[in-house]
Amino acid sequence: MDYDATDIAVTYDRGRDHGPEFLDLWMNVVSSLVKDHRTKRILDLGCGTGRFSEALRTRFDAEVVGIDPSQKMLEQARSKPSAARIRYESGRGESIPLPDNAVDLIFMSMIFHHFDNPMLAARECHRVLRDGATALVRTGTRERISSYPYVDFFPESRPILEERLPTTTFVGEVFEAAGFRMVTLELVTQEIAPSYAAYAEKLSAGADSVLASLSPRDFDAGMRALRAHAAHSNGEAVFEPIDVFVFR
């Protein structure tokens, strides 16, 4: 999706900001997977509005370079108060604007399905990483579609997800063919809303690229179904599974 052809950047944080506990969860995950590897420079590839960039800088006390192809997303990232050790640049995974052996960690969040050429992007990751460094891929996968909480309310999203999302096998094959070794694949369950009512408000922001692909009629029908469910729920939190790959 061309985010610059949409208004998603304006509402992205409202729809995707899940609070400090969410960021703590993911920084704990990243720290546990990187372990004691030296991490002084991080590439936040596909950084979007920079929602993970500051957390990465703080957790690792590192310089962070955020790269994204969307000028609108980068404008949002640059408008936020940030430390001097974070910078944002325009670029794509298939042509990363960094020299060889430049970073100690690449963090990729929900961008694999946006690559035009996943194999070329993986080779670029291999090029800019220092020897023994880590590439971490946080992504949705085809195997988890039935577990994503909005699918039952927006049934038209299922074929879109089946077309766009990779399988876990494909992600592994792409990075291994580029010279990486897969260290681990973990499933992390994250809380994305304290209730279905709050979840409905997040989705109404229009920050999800799959739901943005639905017709207005299908999106409105899904929102009505979700809000009806929220009205009769007991206020339970909403959770979502995310696959995390670690490559070195």
**Is 82 contained in some domain?**
yes
Amino acid at 242: I
* Confidence at residue 22, expressed as pLDDT on a 0 to 100 scale: 86
Coil, strand, or helix at residue 39?
Answer: coil
Say what angle helices 20-34 and 53-60 make with each other, to 10 degrees.
50
**Is 221 contained in some domain?**
no
Give per-residue pLDDT as tens, 228-248: 999 998 889 999 999 999 999
Give the C-alpha separation, 53 to 34, whole Å.
Answer: 16
Look-up: residue for tokens 């997977």? Answer: 33
Give per-residue pLDDT as tens, 148-180: 999 999 999 999 999 999 999 999 999 999 999
**Is 230 contained in some domain?**
no
- Domain span at 14: 3-192+240-247
- The tally of domains found in the chain comes to 1
Look-up: residue for tokens 């997800």? Answer: 161
**Is 235 contained in some domain?**
no
Q: For residue 127, what are the CA distances in angstroms to 22, 86, 242, 248?
A: 31, 21, 26, 12
Give residue 68's Cα distance to chain centre.
12
Least confident window among 7-11, 93-97, 141-145, 188-192: 7-11
Average pLDDT of span 104-116: 96
**Is 215 contained in some domain?**
no
Q: Structure pTM?
A: 0.91
Give the C-alpha separation, 163 to 93, whole Å.
Answer: 20
DSSP assignment, residue 194?
Answer: S
Coil, strand, or helix at residue 97?
Answer: coil
Give per-residue pLDDT as tens, 69-87: 998 889 888 888 766 789 9
* Confidence at residue 81, expressed as pLDDT on a 0 to 100 scale: 77
Coil, strand, or helix at residue 109?
Answer: strand
**Is 106 contained in some domain?**
yes
171 vs 21, higher pLDDT: 171
**Is 219 contained in some domain?**
no
Least confident window among 6-15, 69-78, 132-141: 6-15
**Is 53 contained in some domain?**
yes
4 vs 25, higher pLDDT: 25
Give the domain CATH number at 129: 3.40.50.150
